[in-house]
Amino acid sequence: MLLKDQAAIVTGGASGLGAATARKLAAQGAKVAVFDLNAKLAEEVAAEIKGTAVVCDVSDAASAEAGIVQAAKAHGPARVLVNCAGIGVAKRVIGREGPMALSDFDKVIKVNLIGSFNMLRLATAEMSKREPQATGERGVVVNTASVAAYDGQIGQAAYSASKGGIVAMTLPIARELAQFGIRVLTIAPGLFLTPLLANLPQEAQDSLAAAIPFPRRLGDASEFAALALHMVENPYLNGEVVRLDAALRMAPK
């Protein structure tokens, strides 16, 4: 995908992996719409990269539809979608107070899995109507899963299920959308120094890093963004899920 002057959407773009990706795409000449529920942070990132901030709940059909319309008015229909919006709830299926509330499981699935699909279905419908580039491409989608899709830990039932769903839908959707010249890919990151982990004590961060063979540290958001950019720019990558985890293999606790 040739990025210069093309419209792109990054969900969860106000912080962490999403913000780094928005910056990386903008640096390559893309016009980036930063989708997030946090209006203040989204506006700050958008101002920095000369993009557009869009307040959006990716799990809500009407909110996502309105967000895509708003982004298209600012930059034109998007050729690139990077789904980084996501949440995590660490809860056991059977805790001290009884079974996990179904609403906790439901919320994680709605934001992470349904939200990713919601944005994908709407964005690719618009991509399919666009004229193809010289490469034959009309668009690219990069989703964010997690190594938890493969190596989920105790307390990650909802999170692992949501990320496993993203992994599982990647190939069938890529095969379906190939007829339109739209590629679909997924990154499964390991332990990254996102705001969530950055708030942990240094001792806790060091403990997590000890599970990483090499390099023995938490990942940097810029490394995720670099892979997302490569996926967008490499026309022969399609239908793949790439683990970005420095060979992390966490034993169940």
27 with 229: CB under 8 angstroms? no
**% helix / strand / coil in the chain, to the nearest 5?**
45, 15, 35
The reply to whether 159 belongs to the active site is yes
Q: Between vectors from CA 231 to CA 65 and to CA 55, what angle results, nearest 5°?
A: 25
Q: How far apart are CA 1 and CA 9, in angstroms?
A: 14
User: How many CB atoms sit inside 10 A of residue 137's CB?
Assistant: 20
Please answer whether residues 17 and 88 qualify as being in contact, where contact means their C-beta atoms are separated by less than 8 angstroms: no
Q: Given the DSSP bridges, would you call strands 94-95 and 98-99 parallel, antiparallel or unpaired?
A: antiparallel
Catalytically annotated residue among 105, 117, 159, 192: 159
Beta bridge partners of 141: 81, 184
Between the alpha carbon of residue 123 and those of residues 173, 231, 232, the distances in Å are 13, 17, 15
Nearest to 65 by CA among 148, 125, 152: 125
User: What's the Cα-to-Cα distance from 192 to each of 47, 139, 148, 197, rounded to whole Å?
Assistant: 25, 27, 13, 7
Q: List the structure tokens of 99.
A: 């079974």
Catalytically active residues are: 159
